[in-house]
Structure 1
Amino acid sequence: MARKRNPNGAGSIWQRKDGRYEARVYVPQPDGTRKRKTVYGATWEECDTKRQELVRRDRQGIPTPTRSAKLSEWLPYWLTEHIKPERKKTTYAKYETHVRRYLMPQIGVKRLETLGVADVRRMLAAVQREASAATAKESHRVLRSALAAACREELVSRNVAQLVPAPRVQPRELKPWTLDETVAFLEAARTDPLYTAFVLAVTLGLRRGEVLGLRWCDIELDRRTLSVRTQIQRVQKELYADSTKNRRSRTIPLPLMCIAPLRWQRLRQQSQRLAAGDDWSNDGGYVFTTRTGRPIEPRNLSRSFERIGQAAGLPRIRLHDARHGCASLLFAAGVAPRVVMEILGHSQIAVTMNVYTHVSEDSRREAVGHMDRLLRRRRGRPE
């Protein structure tokens, strides 16, 4: 059979001495380079079909490794090409940490095609011994996502991480402050420069970054509304403004007890601006800033919260636990679950119901009291 010529870049086919047909095409590799890949066929048509598939993948920019890539090659490529352009910086930083600290040392030498269930099990056991079950569960999620991307690019035929269950994690027992403890904290924080920030965190359940990302243009004191649009995040050496966790903004009615602290914060910031003069740099119009107008470090807000709580003799909780307490207080006040979900900014109501609601002992006693009265009334009826 006469040799058929293909366009430039489409590879070439020829017949070997053993009668089979061979084709070679330059294809992109996961690391960004290009190498020549060889395919074979018993007939010219079979070999040409394989050649066309390689050309199709090349034109679509899909890597086709000449050999099965190692995890140490694929994982960095996946982080750079899949995660970094599409996910938040915080997500990328978290994934990169798990890849660097746990996945690469444990299974980096394994190739995508030869990675087996037993390898994943050993990796999870090692991470659990080194860190914790929660860390191992997160590493499992990162690996599963990376292998899912490899499956989509047809580098592997199956995702072995899906065949291995993630470690079970014992949920951390959450004990948010009671109503009396919350009031005691706000009283103790009244003289603190970040008092207004704590009021918003406690009454509205705002996330730490959302509190610090508030701008004056997001607040309408006359209409008593607050819009959550951005958050302040710290990733390694960068402090930056980002969209909210689920990339959606929300508008929340402001309780009356938030109005006076916000007016006080505006007056206080105006005084700081005058004192700072040319050093003032609040270009973003943030509500909470340093003395020179710069955004506040998220960790500093948490430190102040914990310091005030400890000084007031209250049980130690995280700033984020105040968000849990806000949800529980809203439910205790009879607020509908859907409304609580919108206030807290959850994407799914299951999160609101399963994680952020804690029934206090007084509420449990009241519920049991209702049951007791109902049963006593039923038993008291004549036959």
Structure 2
Amino acid sequence: MAARKRNPNGAGSIWQRKDGRWEGRVYVPQPDGTRKRKTIYGATWEECDEKRQELVRRDRQGIPTPTRSAKLSEWLPYWLEEYIRPQRKRTTYVKYEMHTRLYLVPLLGSRRLESLTTANVRRMISTVTAQASAATAKEAHSVLRTALTAACREELISRNVVQLVPAPRVEPRELRPWSLDETLTFLEAARRDPLYPAFVLAIALGLRRGEILGLHWRDVDFDRRTLTVRTTLNRGGKDLYLDSTKNRRARVIPVPLMCVAPLRWQRLRQANQRAEVGSKWHDNGLVFTTRSGLPIEPRNLYRSFLRITESAGLPQVRLHDTRHGCASLLFAAGVAPRTVMEILGHSQIAVTMNVYTHVNDDHRREAMSHMDRLLKRRR
């Protein structure tokens, strides 16, 4: 029988059990920051010592080793607070937290990380699809996959079973941006609305809703006729907050003349409101505010957009679809794709080309008319 060997302090201990097997115990860090004792077993002293050394190595590298496999209801909140909140944008954290709270924890929270199966994931997808939609189920699938990828990096599990389950297929929504005539009809109908300058920026510059409402006067240069997009206003739970742009980069956009007069009118109108309110005015430097200077709720901007659309008898589209219309008009005017990408604030030109450009019937008819010329029968 091999003699018992001693390990240095802090490296755990190994002894032989009455049944002949070897047993060891090592204090290891937990995902929550505490330390607990983990027990290991081996048929021989060498096998047990190899497991002990692995635990000591993980400890010295600061890698948590749970004494028991964590449940998803334990791991997901920890992952959100320790991985997502400090490293990702707040909008991402809010979206991930919503999917975790509404779907992942209620449906999979009782499962332990190492015992999660592909069947569990498939049932989750089916349930979320039935409760909400395939698009929501696809996002929940993505959130769970990201969470388990982090668990794999921490060596809490050996594989990510979510990667073995394909995400549900979502049929792309058919987009039909307004034609030029429809766009002009909307602008004419919105001219008397207090938020008319915001709609002009959405249509002429393709700004996102949050970028419009997060615009500051310091970023508007009337002399150079430029506008710098650097912040966005978002709704996160009960809070309205300012954040960086979607790709975390500021962009400078030349302002067409049609935007200058509405912006000057907005500055004058806001100055009159500030004078009326006096000391109760909330001075935050935003271009678009309520009568007291507070930020405008993003949903209210969208409600005004839908109201004007209906009153003008136009096909209903999303406010975000004005970005698609802006891109299509710029391409129709012969603007280079790279320039359109910079104006819209995309990080990849493929997004600009594949998603935000649309060809209308007039362009198709013009293109196919060339066939009459090219294939005309010789005489």
Q: Is 1:131 aligned with 2:165? A: no
- Contact map agreement 1:328 1:356 (CA 8 A) in 2: yes
2:162 match: secondary structure: helix
1:292 match: secondary structure: coil
Equivalence for 1:86: 87
- Contact map agreement 2:234 2:240 (CA 8 A) in 1: yes
- Contact map agreement 1:128 1:136 (CA 8 A) in 2: yes
Equivalence for 2:313: 313
2 CA distance for matches of 1:368 and 1:222?
45
1:13 match: secondary structure: strand
- Contact map agreement 2:31 2:64 (CA 8 A) in 1: yes
2 CA distance for matches of 1:34 and 1:370?
75
Equivalence for 2:288: 288
Cα deviation per residue 1:177-209 (whole Å; 9 max; x = unaligned)?
111111111111111111111111100110000
- Contact map agreement 1:30 1:73 (CA 8 A) in 2: no
Task: Single out whichever of 75-84 and 28-37 deviates more from structure 2.
Answer: 28-37
1:82 match: secondary structure: helix
2 CA distance for matches of 1:5 and 1:137?
50
Equivalence for 1:161: 162
2 CA distance for matches of 1:249 and 1:44?
61
Equivalent residue runs for 1:68-79 within 5 Å: 68-79=69-80
2 CA distance for matches of 1:174 and 1:29?
49
TM-score normalized by the length of structure 1: 0.93
Identity of aligned residues (%): 74
Structure 1: stretches of 5+ with no match in the other structure:
none
Shift of the alpha carbon at 1:118? 1.8
Shift of the alpha carbon at 1:18? 4.4
2 CA distance for matches of 1:7 and 1:208?
60
1:202 match: secondary structure: helix
Shift of the alpha carbon at 1:175? 1.3
Shift of the alpha carbon at 1:223? 1.1
- Contact map agreement 1:204 1:326 (CA 8 A) in 2: yes
Task: Single out whichever of 181-190 and 70-79 deviates more from structure 2.
Answer: 70-79
2 CA distance for matches of 1:52 and 1:295?
57
1:113 match: secondary structure: helix
Shift of the alpha carbon at 1:62? 2.5
- Contact map agreement 2:4 2:15 (CA 8 A) in 1: no
1:14 match: secondary structure: strand
Amino acid at match of 1:7: N
Task: Single out whichever of 59-68 and 120-129 deviates more from structure 2.
Answer: 59-68
Equivalent residue runs for 1:98-109 within 5 Å: 98-109=99-110
- Contact map agreement 2:274 2:293 (CA 8 A) in 1: yes
Task: Single out whichever of 166-175 and 15-24 deviates more from structure 2.
Answer: 15-24
- Contact map agreement 2:177 2:324 (CA 8 A) in 1: yes
TM-score normalized by the length of structure 2: 0.94
Q: Is 1:7 aligned with 2:14? A: no
Equivalence for 1:366: 366
Equivalence for 1:244: 245
Shift of the alpha carbon at 1:57? 2.5
Equivalence for 2:226: 225
Shift of the alpha carbon at 1:23? 2.2
Amino acid at match of 2:94: A
Equivalence for 2:302: 302
2 CA distance for matches of 1:7 and 1:270?
72
Equivalence for 1:257: 258
Equivalence for 1:152: 153
Task: Give the CA RMSD over aligned residues.
Answer: 1.7
- Contact map agreement 2:118 2:165 (CA 8 A) in 1: yes
1 CA distance for matches of 2:123 and 2:15?
46
Shift of the alpha carbon at 1:19? 4.6
Q: Is 1:97 aligned with 2:61? A: no
Shift of the alpha carbon at 1:24? 1.2
Amino acid at match of 1:320: H
Equivalence for 2:207: 206
1:319 match: secondary structure: coil
Amino acid at match of 1:249: A
Shift of the alpha carbon at 1:5? 3.9
1 CA distance for matches of 2:348 and 2:246?
13
